[in-house]
Structure 1
């Protein structure tokens, strides 16, 4: 009987005697060898089962991992449109809005699909701190990255309007109407809205003189009142910078009187260099001993809604309180909107004893000053000659 046959006969009978084929001799370890062979056969089957389980487990984890990654990716990636969008919409970014505030506005107007998509895009572009208030032309359903590109400050909808020094209010309102396309009556109504304009108390409820001349950025959505309020705000800033109230008091005048003087200085001066001297002539007349009439053609022309540097004899017959030939002192208020140079001249007049000045050559803006009446009359003759012969 071979070893294989003997493997099935190993054991003992019921009485404990060895069965046939059993060998208990210590010199022969056939039973040990057969045990090792049986263990090897069992191990071969035991190895395959755990391996199969591991393979199945890895496959399950892999599938779960794939679907888990897909789920996380979908959760972490915000909803976003693709492409450059279509149509056109004007979006306003307001002062003080954060990137997330702007994102909310864009989502509400269906420019971008989600707040998160825009916030991510603006962060990736490094432009969170460069967003500026204004109005922008956008498109509906844009990719967030494309929306960021259209919020470049240089692409804001705005128009620069330059208002020159010395413009009368009536002309300022006309220019604003022409350049913004808004009806003139809207500006006229806004100019009378004293409470909303933010005028200083010393303006006496009149906008003339306090619509500060400068270059302004005006957006399509700004109302006439907002535009004029912006101009008054600019005046108030200048008045604070110049310490208008403090210096006016030191000169013995009210702030309103200083602004009236500044407006006359602006209207009568040919150059910036003349302004301080013109201001001095005004003070010498007002504060002289005895005081003199101002006798300024510019105030008479304002009263008659005329333009030019020379009032006619008929013009001088005007009964208007702005006719400074027929009454003493300053007119009731400013005759134009002076710039900062004229305000500075009114607050800091050049030292001198001049009583008169004549623009002897208007074409070249040449103005000459005189302390004696005889010199003044000679300057008038020079002006008359230049009118005929040129200068």
Structure 2
């Protein structure tokens, strides 16, 4: 009887320790709690959940890759891990690490660039909003190489840094950001069939973008854009051909801002002085948005050859077909200006 009791007791002890060994072998090492400190982790494009798990272990985020693999599988998120940078903590539990790898928590900043900015102002805005050196933006923009510019841009970025809202990640440098803006322009050009419609209008794509940039600069509202575009075409293609006489192109040449050129300004010999030189200036003077591009491709119908922003505060622009009408609008502008309008 004593021998049987000892034997049964031995089997019981062996079973208990065997269970403990098996549990430790099956359950991987894991930290407890949310962790401490901060560490940035990058998930690269094409990485699997297993690859991510190993990265987290290597960077001291989780105690074992197996613990993270189990946690992400349990959460059903193995296929939802998205490339990008994430802010994590050291020595986190695997379950807490999974929570911080939600795609909505990727490190990124939304940067909005408004329509109608000159390239020089766009670069300043990009530097301020991203914290990246202005000089780098300027050098890359000046070169134009490697940005994916269309051939008709002639290597110049002005007019082709498309204004929109962009998601900028910490790893993106100035070249990456400017390339994204050119990519967005190329997408818009394809959507609008820029090259095909430009040819139908008897102009090159570069000329259309130059017209769009002037439309953007001269229009007081979206509703005016089609009419402004028509004035430009009526002057370029009219009989007789008229000079554009646009203050916006002259101000661009002089690196000045304003709606009214002075007599001294008019003496500029720059090819952007459309009071002196016939035809379009050499290239765009702003980075136009899609509305201005659409207006350049689809101008309103009309005989206008003049327009005057009669009320600059309210952005009211009026259009004229005769010189006498133009002079009346100019007098209205002068009255509003004198009244502080």
C-alpha separation between the residues in 2 aligned to 1:235 and 1:322?
A: 24
Structure 2 alignment gaps of length 5 or more = none
CA separation of 1:374 and 1:154: change in aligned 2, threshold 3 A:
same
The alpha carbon displacement at 1:62 in A equals 4.2
Give the corresponding residue for 2:292: 342
Compare CA radii of gyration and give the structure with the larger one. Answer: 1
Residue deviations 1:324-350 (CA, integer Å, cap 9, x gap): 111111111110100111111111111
The alpha carbon displacement at 1:64 in A equals 4.4
Alignment of 1:351-390 (within 5 A): 351-390=301-340
Give the corresponding residue for 1:79: 29
Instruction: Using structure 2 for the length normalisation, give the TM-score.
Output: 0.93
C-alpha separation between the residues in 1 aligned to 2:88 and 2:55?
A: 12
Q: 3-state SS of the aligned residue for 1:84?
A: coil
Give the corresponding residue for 2:61: 111
C-alpha separation between the residues in 2 aligned to 1:115 and 1:254?
A: 57
Alignment of 1:25-40 (within 5 A): none
Q: 3-state SS of the aligned residue for 1:195?
A: coil
C-alpha separation between the residues in 1 aligned to 2:166 and 2:235?
A: 37
CA separation of 1:291 and 1:96: change in aligned 2, threshold 3 A:
farther
C-alpha separation between the residues in 1 aligned to 2:193 and 2:46?
A: 29
C-alpha separation between the residues in 1 aligned to 2:11 and 2:139?
A: 75
Give the corresponding residue for 2:170: 220
Residue deviations 1:305-340 (CA, integer Å, cap 9, x gap): 000111111111111111111111111111010011
Alignment of 1:3-82 (within 5 A): 52=4, 56=7, 62-82=12-32
C-alpha separation between the residues in 1 aligned to 2:312 and 2:46?
A: 49
Give the corresponding residue for 1:234: 184
C-alpha separation between the residues in 1 aligned to 2:48 and 2:241?
A: 60
Give the corresponding residue for 2:94: 144
Structure 1 alignment gaps of length 5 or more = 1-47
Give the corresponding residue for 1:285: 235
C-alpha separation between the residues in 2 aligned to 1:309 and 1:98?
A: 57
Give the corresponding residue for 1:16: none
Give the corresponding residue for 1:27: none
C-alpha separation between the residues in 2 aligned to 1:203 and 1:366?
A: 32
State the Cα RMSD in Å: 2.1
The alpha carbon displacement at 1:151 in A equals 2.1
C-alpha separation between the residues in 1 aligned to 2:302 and 2:168?
A: 43
Q: Does 1:246 align with 2:196?
A: yes
Give the corresponding residue for 1:12: none
The alpha carbon displacement at 1:221 in A equals 2.5
Give the corresponding residue for 1:22: none
Residue deviations 1:168-225 (CA, integer Å, cap 9, x gap): 1101111111122222111112213423211111111011111111111222222111
CA separation of 1:232 and 1:307: change in aligned 2, threshold 3 A:
same
Residue deviations 1:129-186 (CA, integer Å, cap 9, x gap): 4433332221122111111222233433222221110001101111111122222111
C-alpha separation between the residues in 1 aligned to 2:213 and 2:191?
A: 18
Give the corresponding residue for 1:6: none
The alpha carbon displacement at 1:69 in A equals 2.9
Residue deviations 1:347-379 (CA, integer Å, cap 9, x gap): 111111111111011111100111111111111
Give the corresponding residue for 2:255: 305
Q: Of 98, 106, 120, which aligns to 2:70?
A: 120
